[in-house]
Amino acid sequence: MNTPTADVPRAGKHTPPCGHPVHEGITNRCRRGSGSPLQRGGAQPRSVWIACVGLLLSTAFVRAADLHALWAERAKSVVAVEFFTESELDRRPTVAYGTVIDDQGTIILPAPAVGARTTPEQLKDFRVYRPGQSTTNYAVGEYLGQDGFTGWHFVRVAGDARAGLVPVTAFAAPQGPTVPQITDEVWGIGLRGKDEDFTPYFLTGRVGIIQTIPQRTAVTTLEIASPGLPVFDRAGGFIGLGATGFGQSYVMFSQRDRGGAPILLMSTDECSAFQLAEEVLPYLGRIPKNVSGRPLPWLGAHGLQPVDPEVAKFFELEDQAGLVVSEVLEGSPAEKAGLQERDILLALDGRPLPRLKPDRVVVTYVDREIDRRLPGDPIVLTVLRGKERIDVKGSLAEAPPTPREAERRYFDKFGLTLRAFVYADGVSRRVKLAGHAGVIAHFVKSNGPAGAAGLRTDDWIKEIDGVEVKTFAEATEKLAAIEADPLRNEFVLLASRGGETAVLRVKLN
């Protein structure tokens, strides 16, 4: 097989030189990308022509005059949100796209918009931009927090800037959300970058498949929206929200590797999947009460795993889903209720676990069923223990402090940020509650004294200068004293990583 050396443009991404006025007026998709063979006057692969002609035919419905009005009104439900993350070393801007959900100017951003290690205190200066308007004009936004169940981050526009924003709920069907069918034509909104004033553009495609993973999610034949932005049916009804994480698999060939290597491409600007409106509308009211997202429910059944097919056959579980409990966390509601390791979870509150594919999706289903509840809620776990089915009854509790909530302090002289040791640190290191002590190296500057000594991010610091530090207060007090001493040339740390402990000598001069 002959392998072309030039990059082949993706179908639907470049404009064929047809000059069709309808095609020119309805989509920017065939204009995106720079430096492609088509734009340079190079060869035009037949697949590109076929895809573009197919796109033109599939979007014939956009000739309807009312689509222009639908587009203009629905574009008012999307915004671009810029914020800054202040770390130990710099101040980094981030841009995410959000959907307006109510008349109070509340906006939801997708979960990946904020890094998992970023604390709410590090998030600064939220700015909300209207698509297509000059970026010199922006509204001030307030970060409300992240909801643990949906994963959405909530931001609210301040004051008079809410005028002109239209909540996406205004486009939901009064009788309930419309469920698209396979082959249905749908369309959504994308936003260009800040240097182009976040100009909105039109995207369209057809529903290729609908899966339960465990949220009901539609995957489309082409990119359908920017992540976190709404998707509509032909009549303009809200039918879903653009979902991230659905990459496309390719095989990349080179002159040296004729066999080809599989790769996965992920677009950060557009997505080809959306969560159905039935998975969105019921939860728009889950606005966090605080930036930490609390209250957070907790069960403590850890390391759930789908039942192996041979085990399922032995226990006659071929016709139902089951999850093996790998670990019951110490001091957790699951332990207090009497759940045991190697129990096979079959049902929650009398409802059998759903049979989902792939099997690991059932684990996410259980996690979401816990996250949707509140601390103090009762729960009944039906498990198979040996050959006996029993009901384990208990109540959810408030989750222990998370790493994002833990106290931390940066010591510039050492290039080191200490973080308090929390329950999750003990779980990941398989340490009993009695051994929960010391602090965690949350950040280590690579060319700082601590980094030069061999300390790495997430190392567990147990001793400072030969003295055991059991609490965050003890550790910070010890390091503060060393930092304030101009005569100190070095100090030592006892740190653990991957179960191995080492003494590190930190030189200050």
What pLDDT does 362 receive? 96
What pLDDT does 40 receive? 36
Here the tokens at position 187 are 């369309």
What is the length of the chain?
509
Q: CB under 8 Å, gap of 24 or more: what pairs does 501-505 form? A: 501/462, 502/454, 504/450, 504/453, 504/454, 504/455, 505/453
Residue 102 to residue 114: CA distance in whole angstroms: 22
In this prediction, residues 251-276 reach a mean pLDDT of: 72
**208-230 pLDDT tens trace:** 999 999 999 999 999 999 999 99
251 burial class (0-12, 13-18, 19+ CB within 10 angstroms)? exposed
Residue 12 to residue 139: CA distance in whole angstroms: 35
Residue 414 to residue 465: CA distance in whole angstroms: 14
Q: Is 48 helix (H, G, I), strand (E, B) or coil?
A: helix
What pLDDT does 255 receive? 63
Q: Which of 127, 145, 110, 126 is nearest to 270 (CA)?
A: 110
Residue 372 to residue 350: CA distance in whole angstroms: 17
User: How far, in Å, are 67, 99, 111, 201, 240 from residue 130 at the CA level?
Assistant: 21, 11, 21, 13, 21
Residue 509's pLDDT band (boundaries 50, 70, 90)?
Answer: confident
Residue 171 to residue 346: CA distance in whole angstroms: 39
Q: What is the pTM of this model?
A: 0.83
State what percent of residues in the chain have pLDDT above 70. 83
Strand partners, 506: 491
Number of helices (H), then strands (E), in the chain? 9, 31
Q: Which of 59, 101, 45, 96 is nearest to 77 (CA)?
A: 101
Q: Which of 34-43, 373-382, 398-407 has the lowest mean pLDDT?
A: 34-43
In this prediction, residues 109-137 reach a mean pLDDT of: 94
At 477, give phi and psi (nearest 5°). Answer: -65, -40
450 pLDDT above the threshold of 90: yes
Here the tokens at position 476 are 């910070």
Here the tokens at position 452 are 């030069």
User: How far, in Å, are 2, 253, 254, 261, 486 from residue 258 at the CA level?
Assistant: 10, 6, 6, 9, 62
Here the tokens at position 389 are 């089915």
Q: Is 145 helix (H, G, I), strand (E, B) or coil?
A: strand
In this prediction, residues 252-260 reach a mean pLDDT of: 63
Q: Where are the beta strands (DSSP E) in 330-483?
A: 344-348, 351-352, 378-385, 388-395, 397-398, 408-411, 416-420, 439-444, 460-464, 467-468
Q: What is the DSSP annotation of 426-452? A: HHHTT--GGG--SEEEEEE-TTSHHHH
4 pLDDT above the threshold of 70: no
What pLDDT does 158 receive? 84
315 pLDDT above the threshold of 60: yes
342 pLDDT above the threshold of 50: yes
Q: Is 141 helix (H, G, I), strand (E, B) or coil?
A: strand
What pLDDT does 30 receive? 42
**410-430 pLDDT tens trace:** 999 999 999 999 999 999 999
Residue type, 385: R
Answer whether 77's CB lies under 8 Å from 100's CB: yes
Mean pLDDT of the chain: 86
Query: Which DSSP state fits 399?
Result: P
Here the tokens at position 171 are 């486009």
307 pLDDT above the threshold of 70: yes
**228-245 pLDDT tens trace:** 999 999 999 999 999 986
Residue 47's pLDDT band (boundaries 50, 70, 90)?
Answer: very low
The Cβ-side half-sphere exposure at 402, using a 13 Å CA radius, reads: 18
User: How far, in Å, are 64, 127, 162, 265, 363 from residue 219 at the CA level?
Assistant: 25, 31, 32, 16, 21
